[in-house]
Each structure stands twice: as structure tokens, then as C-alpha cells.
A and B are shown apart, each in its own frame.
Chain A
């Protein structure tokens, strides 16, 4: 099956620093990538949708200047948490979708745990 990787899997940083998380589709071209955030014991919440070569579409309540998303190629999307604060500590999960059939299928990455001290 299709594989999506995320790097890093764990990151601990100091408050005020920026953190970049990479999401790669390893064996298919991902025309659309999604970024989710999951707080402990909660569900996955969609943060933004990015299409290759276009600006990301952010969900209501998600600060686009805080969470920078770049989808520069068909296999890579990055999420940068700028000036991270402890409340940004969360589990970030990306997923990727191809333009071909089955169009409704998303492939999820293993997630990145961010801890901001």
C-alpha cells in the first residue's frame, strides 16, 4: 500500500523557536496533503489542506501565520510551527491523497509529537 512518512517523529524545542515537520509520500504523487492536530485524548482536527503548487487552505481558527504550510512538490509538504509555545504541544499528523482512483483514499503518516518547553 501507499506509504507516507513524517520527520521527525519526535521533537522537543524551547518556547519561541520554530519547528519544521516534513511529510513525504514515498511511492505515489500526492496532489493534496492534509495536516491534522491531535491533542491528548482528543480527535484529529483538520488544520489545513494543501494542493501542490498552491497556497494552503486553512480551517477556521487556525492561524496561517503561525502554521506555515508549503507543498512545493508532489511528494513533500512541510508544516512549520513558528514561534512555538507550550500550547502548540500536540501530535501532528499529515495525510496525502492522489489525484487518481480511489480519490477518496487518504494515506496517513505516522505522526510527529511536538513538545514545547
Chain B
């Protein structure tokens, strides 16, 4: 069965600090997809990144970077030099094509507070 664990419920940092959001997943499938989404107070999900299970390359996009390690089933997200606008809830998600069809499961989310 699919499972996504985001152990950090809330993180509070001061502006310009680096922060890493953890994500650990469980799946029996060899083909799956991992995502990170940002949910600001407005509620609309903002897509940040998608990774498939065959691509373990780390990725950097501006101040954002992602570390995908299949050996530890982790897909961690780092924000470098955090800004107040980064304050939001961040969700890690896992998608796979199971016997019941395509399904996406979300982690519990990590609420990030960036203080000026």
C-alpha cells in the first residue's frame, strides 16, 4: 500500500536560513512518481516538482532543491535562503498505477513559517 510520511508538522525559521522538509514514502510498485506541492493560505495547490522512480538525479531550481534517494525511500526538499513568501504548507505526494487505477496519496504536510 502507498504511504507518505512527513514527520515535520511545523517548522519555523528566520528569513535567509536554509530549511529542509523531509518526505519518506512506501510503495510496492517499481514505477511511481513523487511530487512536491506548495499550498499558500489561498488554498490553491502550486506544483513544484515531479520525479519518476527511475530518475534519481537531484534537481535544483533557483532556491529550491530536491534530494531523491530510493535506498532510503526519501524525497527531501530544501529551500535555500528562505524568504517570508515561502511561508506555506508543503505537501509531498506519491502517485502510482495500482490495481484500483491511478491514485495519488498526499503526506500530512509541513507548515513552514518564515519570519522576517
Q: Which residue of B lies closest to A105 (CB)?
A: B50
Q: A43-B91, A44-B91 are in contact. Are A32 and B102 (CB under 8 A)?
A: yes
Interface majority SS on B: helix, strand, loop or mixed?
Answer: strand
Q: Are B106 and A103 in contact (CB under 8 A)?
A: no
- A-facing residues in B34-53 (Cβ within 8 Å): 37, 42-45, 47, 50, 52
Q: Are A43 and B102 in contact (CB under 8 A)?
A: no
A37 to B100, CA, bound (A): 19
Contact with B along A39-77 (1 / 0, CB 8 A): 001111110010100000100000000000000000000
Q: Are B106 and A93 in contact (CB under 8 A)?
A: no
Contacts of A38 in B (CB 8 A): 43
Q: Are A103 and B102 in contact (CB under 8 A)?
A: yes
Q: Are A110 and B43 in contact (CB under 8 A)?
A: yes
B20: Cβ under 8 A from any A Cβ:
no
- Shortest distance in angstroms between A107's beta carbon and chain B's nearest beta carbon? 8
A31 to B45, CA, bound (A): 21
Q: Are A111 and B104 in contact (CB under 8 A)?
A: no
Contacts of A46 in B (CB 8 A): 103-105
A71 to B47, CA, bound (A): 24
Total contacts A-B at CB 8 Å: 52
A67 to B99, CA, bound (A): 23
Show the binding face of A for B, using Cβ within 8 Å.
Answer: 32, 34, 38, 41-46, 49, 51, 57, 91, 93, 95, 97, 102-106, 108, 110-111, 113
Q: A34-B104, A51-B101, A110-B43 are in contact. List 4 more A-B contacts (CB 8 A).
A: A45-B106, A46-B104, A95-B104, A111-B44
Show the binding face of B for A, using Cβ within 8 Å.
Answer: 33, 37, 42-45, 47, 50, 52, 91, 95, 97, 100-109, 111
* A–B complex contacts, Cβ < 8 Å, 26 sampled: A34-B104, A41-B111, A42-B108, A42-B109, A43-B91, A43-B106, A43-B109, A44-B91, A44-B106, A45-B106, A49-B100, A49-B102, A49-B103, A51-B101, A57-B101, A93-B45, A103-B97, A104-B33, A104-B95, A106-B104, A108-B37, A108-B47, A110-B42, A111-B43, A111-B45, A113-B43
